[in-house]
Copies of this chain bind each other. A is one copy, B any other.
Amino acid sequence: MSFGISTLPYGVFSTAPDGRDRRVGVAYGDAVLDLAAAAEQLRLPAAGAFAEESLNRFLAHGPAVWREVRDRITDALTSHQPRLPLLPRDRVRLHLPFTVADYVDFYSSLHHAENAGRIFRPDEPPLTPNWKHMPIGYHGRSGTVVVSGTPIVRPAGQRRSRSGSPAFGPTRRLDIEAELGFVVGVPSTLGQPVPLASFGEHVFGAVLVNDWSARDIQAWEARPLGPFLAKSFATSISPWVVPLDALQHARIAPPAREPAPLPYLDDAGAEPWGLDITMEIRLNGHVVSRPPFATMYWTPAQQLAHLTVNGAALRTGDLYASGTVSGPERDQVGSLLELTWGGREPIVLPDGAERTFLEDGDEVAITASAPGPGGERIDFGEVRGRVIPCPSPAPP
């Protein structure tokens, strides 16, 4: 993965074996520009923020600083300024790029919501009556958001069994959810909603998200208060945060909405935040789906307006994910649940292996790209994770 000059995503890296020398860097080509080392040479504003172990201090500075830093880095890289502290990317270790404050997961793909409804609640209409009136969401566990590459321990838990009493053991339906996540930089005040138009004043950028899910645990636990342990064991994110400024060429009109959203969600008169991003999911190296983010019913700007309409405050480091990205076609869905229709229709990989849900040792990688200026592609890097067995025996 070689990042172009129009992407310039931010991350946290280290070079020492113990990982203690973490600092902020920007990816370019096959290299990392060490911003802690370059801050003085490039006369970066907010220079102290780049020697930190997370992006949070930089994120809190807001759009004017974000833009000035990006401009200076672009200038330095395109003017081939000498002696820039560029390190080969394969020599650095990447870490969780920011400290996650609150983590919210939305459910904003119409196709995913309809598919999940049909699979989980076959006797009811696939969409609940609220779905087309609001971006449905819930809070997840921010303490188990991990960086790409972190092994995913198969979780144990309760699942339905034929006896009426639940069974207990390692999940048999370990799944993925391919999503995009949005990272809040500038906090807001408790009691004051953030309107649709202020999206760019608060949100810094986007990451890839794999919201690992245990479908059997979820099916048993989620009534009446929603998913809990089925999701809280791990959520993986990509190490490089792509700034919104890199996504301006990817902005498109979202799908038509019927009925019209309430005023606080109505983006008909505003510049829209639909995004033409194509994602790719690889299972053990084989592409199994290409979810199109352009089909998302609710945009990240609408999600932010909804999240705060009750006065909930934002903090630097808040992460909210789009929900599983699924297009209308079977090869465009963002979960194995949909790809195998609830486990009833296994997929066959090119090497002949069949899968419904994930087996121990399986590795999933999600990538994405979007149009940039002058035909360049904006790349998100990847979020990758390998499943390792549940420690056995289960705890007493």
Contact = CB atoms under 8 A, between A and B. Distances in A.
Interface of A: 101-102, 107, 117, 120-121, 128, 130, 133-134, 136-144, 146, 153, 155-158, 165-166, 168, 190-193, 195, 214, 217, 220-230, 232-234, 259, 262-264, 306-307, 309-315, 318, 391, 394-396
B214 A310 contact: yes
Contacts of A309: 156-157, 229, 395
Contacts of A311: 153, 155-156, 233-234
A391 B313 CA distance: 15
A263 to B, nearest CB: 6
Nearest to A133: B166
B136 A139 contact: no
B144 A142 contact: no
Given A141-B139, A157-B310, A234-B190, A130 B223 contact: yes
7 contacts: A101-B142, A130-B221, A136-B228, A138-B225, A156-B311, A195-B396, A263-B396
Interface centre among A101, A217, A221 (most CB of B within 10 A): A221
B227 A143 contact: no
A134 B229 CA distance: 11
A259 B220 CA distance: 17
Contact of A144 (B146, B157, B312): B312
A130 B230 CA distance: 14
A143 B225 contact: no
A262 B225 contact: no
B312 A166 contact: no
Contacts of A142: 101-102, 142
Nearest to A310: B155
Contacts of A234: 190, 311
Contacts of A134: 158, 166, 221
Contacts of A120: 224
Contact of A146 (B140, B190, B192): B190
A234 B192 CA distance: 12
A306 B229 contact: yes
B264 A395 contact: yes
Which 7 pairs from chain A and chain B are nearest by CB? A226-B226, A155-B310, A153-B191, A139-B139, A138-B225, A233-B310, A229-B310
A225 B318 contact: no
Contacts of A318: 143
Most chain B Cβ neighbours within 10 Å, of A139, A226, A234, A314:
A139
Given A140-B139, A214-B310, A309-B395, A262 B166 contact: yes
A263 B233 CA distance: 20
A41 B32 CA distance: 51
Contacts of A192: 391
Contacts of A139: 138-141, 228, 232
A220 to B, nearest CB: 6
Contacts of A315: 143
